[in-house]
Amino acid sequence: MRVGILGGGQLGRMLALAGYPLGHTFRFFDPSPEAGAGEVGELVNGSYDEEEALKRFADGLDVITYEFENVPVEAARLLEQYAPVHPNPAALEAAQDRLVEKRYFRTLNIPTAQFRDVDSRADLDAAVEALWLPAVLKTRREGYDGKGQRVLREPSDLDAAWSDLGDKALILEQFVRFDRELSIVATRSTGGDFRYYPLVENTHVDGILSRTVAPAPDVSERQQRAAEGYAHRIQTALDYAGTLAVELFEVDGLLMANEMAPRVHNSGHWSIEGAETSQFENHIRAVTGQPLGSTGLRGQATMLNLIGTTPDPADMLKVDASHLHLYSKAPRPGRKLGHITVRSDHLERLETSVAALEALISGTEE
Ligand SMILES: Nc1ncnc2c1ncn2[C@@H]1O[C@H](COP(=O)(O)OP(=O)(O)O)[C@@H](O)[C@H]1O
Ligand SMILES: [Mg+2]
């Protein structure tokens, strides 16, 4: 099939790389002529409000999907005139606004931190009064990698946070003292079939994902089932075809939803080597109407993100059992430039390699 992908970043690139063996071809839409996916498929440049450019992109495509959640909903809906768009653009609406998203979780009986809508300084004071400190003030839209957020620890933090973020629509969330962060990645087919990946454990540094361990250690069956239930409810309610990720906080054994991503997710990159079928391949299978593949584990895997700078590739490849993925992006502080996954059937071998890679990575950070 001819598959169109909205967004030409690393996720689009990895979707195409997973889809070529299945016989598909790929075209990307991105405002930037530099978009890294342009190296692995045709790239159409344009802005999301340019109907003409969207039409050019859609011409001859059999199905359209997206690799980032800030695709304007109007653009996705317009494209539905030309080819099926999966996942359902309703998923964009639910995921683009943190307030809508948290309310949506609540309607599906998925636990979240307490939250309040903040549209004015008076709202902020009232929200702090209700939720107490510490709390996290976030922009409702367009935040990623920890951007657009301020942790409020004392009343004196409010003024600075308000002057930084107060010109945008905001949400105040209770600060969750989580034991750890987990996520679940799930794929649903157009026919309503589900595949779940095991819960993984994520470590963030400065709000950016740094490491994923798959499977997460010490997960109970009850926790795995609870997380699958959250994904199941979301994907069913949205009549969703494709891969979805739900980020979770574990608190005293319970799982609270933090946010969802209606797309393949960084915490699923390990699955390229660590699962029978990767999150990317399953996404492509889902949106093209093909049967889903097994999410069974192949040993254990740890994924490390390469952020801002990358060690010498040769040094990383020397490390036993390592698999390097570079995204062809110019280095910039805080930017995800690639990732490296260690996969092994032996925990000791895996831990030795991960330690070696972490030493290389920390050696390149200024
Ligand atoms: N309410 C909260 N309580 C505690 N930590 C939080 C809270 N919200 C976010 N964080 C921390 O900040 C990280 C990034 O926040 P998140 O809401 O996931 O935004 P982003 O879209 O930037 O990933 C989370 O993974 C978590 O480590
Ligand atoms: Mg997040």
pLDDT by residue (tens digit) across 54-63? 999 999 999 9
pLDDT for residue 73: 97
pLDDT (tens digit, 9 = 90+) per residue, 214-270?
999 999 999 999 999 999 999 999 999 999 999 999 999 999 999 999 999 999 999
336-344 vs 170-174, strand pairing mode: unpaired
CA distances to 182, 220, 258 from 227, in Å: 10, 11, 12
Across 121-133, b (16+ Cβ under 10 Å) vs e yields eeebeebbeebee
Q: Is the pLDDT of residue 143 over 90?
A: no
Tell which residue, 337, 271, 334, 335, has the closest CA to residue 298. Answer: 271
pLDDT for residue 343: 98
Q: Is residue 360 packed enough to be buried (19+ CB in 10 Å), middle (13-18) or exposed (0-12)?
A: buried
Tell which residue, 364, 212, 187, 181, has the closest CA to residue 290. Answer: 187
Contact 209, 267 (CB under 8 A): yes
Q: Is the CB of 111 inside a 6 Å radius of any atom of ligand 1? A: no
Per the DSSP assignment, residues forming a β-bridge with 43 are 28
> Identity (one letter) of the amino acid at 269?
H
Q: Is the CB of 44 inside a 6 Å radius of any atom of ligand 1? A: no
pLDDT (tens digit, 9 = 90+) per residue, 301-313?
999 999 999 999 9
**Atom in ligand 1 nearest the alpha carbon of residue 113:** 1
pLDDT for residue 365: 66
Output the CA 265–ligand 2 centroid distance in Å.
10
Residue 115 has, within 13 A of its CA and on its CB side, a CA count of 27
Helix axes 121-131, 157-165, angle to 10 degrees: 130
The distance between the two most distant Cα atoms of the chain, rounded to a whole number of Å, is 58
Give the tokens for residue 248.
């979770």
Fold of 114-174: Dna Ligase; domain 1 (3.30.1490)
Q: Is the CB of 144 inside a 6 Å radius of any atom of ligand 1? A: yes
pLDDT (tens digit, 9 = 90+) per residue, 133-142?
999 999 999 9
Output the CA 187–ligand 2 centroid distance in Å.
19
Output the CA 306–ligand 1 centroid distance in Å.
20
Tokens 């922009």 label which residue? Answer: 139
Residue of 258, 265, 267 with the most ligand 1 atoms within 8 Å of its CB, for mutation: 258
- Asked whether the whole model's pTM tops 0.95, one would answer yes
Give the tokens for residue 313.
């590739």
pLDDT (tens digit, 9 = 90+) per residue, 106-135?
999 999 999 999 999 999 999 999 999 999
Tokens 């996942």 label which residue? Answer: 87
Output the CA 315–ligand 1 centroid distance in Å.
32
Q: Is the CB of 258 inside a 6 Å radius of any atom of ligand 1? A: yes
Which residues of the chain form beta strands (DSSP E)?
Answer: 2-6, 25-30, 42-45, 63-66, 115-118, 135-139, 149-152, 170-174, 180-188, 194-196, 200-205, 208-214, 242-251, 254-261, 300-307, 322-326, 336-344
Q: What average pLDDT does range 283-290 have in this prediction?
A: 98
Fold of 180-364: D-amino Acid Aminotransferase; Chain A, domain 1 (3.30.470)
Residues 6+ apart with CB under 8 A from 78: 51, 54
CA distances to 25, 82, 128 from 60, in Å: 11, 8, 52
Nearest-angstrom CA–CA distance, 276 and 258:
28
Q: Is the pLDDT of residue 366 over 80?
A: no
Q: Whose CA is nearest to atom 21 of ligand 1?
A: 144
**Atom in ligand 1 nearest the alpha carbon of residue 145:** 22
Output the CA 8–ligand 1 centroid distance in Å.
25
Q: What average pLDDT does range 330-353 have in this prediction?
A: 96
Residue boundaries of the structural domains of the chain: 2-85, 114-174, 180-364
CA distances to 6, 15, 214, 297, 325 from 272, in Å: 21, 11, 12, 11, 10
Residue of 128, 149, 175, 336 with the most ligand 1 atoms within 8 Å of its CB, for mutation: 149
Q: Is the pLDDT of residue 188 over 70?
A: yes
Output the CA 255–ligand 2 centroid distance in Å.
15
Q: Is the CB of 20 inside a 6 Å radius of any atom of ligand 1? A: no
Please calculate the CA angle 322-323-327 and round it to the nearest 5 degrees.
140
Q: Is the CB of 247 inside a 6 Å radius of any atom of ligand 1? A: yes
Percent of the chain clearing pLDDT 90 (strictly above): 97
Tell which residue, 271, 302, 208, 191, has the closest CA to residue 15. Answer: 271
Output the CA 70–ligand 2 centroid distance in Å.
14
Class of the CATH-defined domain 2-85: alpha beta
Q: State the Rg of the chain over Cα.
A: 20
Across 228-243, b (16+ Cβ under 10 Å) vs e yields bbbbbebbeebebbbb
pLDDT for residue 144: 86
Please calculate the CA angle 59-83-196 and round it to the nearest 5 degrees.
130
pLDDT for residue 255: 98
Q: Is 162 helix (H, G, I), strand (E, B) or coil?
A: helix
Q: Is the CB of 134 inside a 6 Å radius of any atom of ligand 1? A: no
Q: Is the CB of 101 inside a 6 Å radius of any atom of ligand 1? A: no
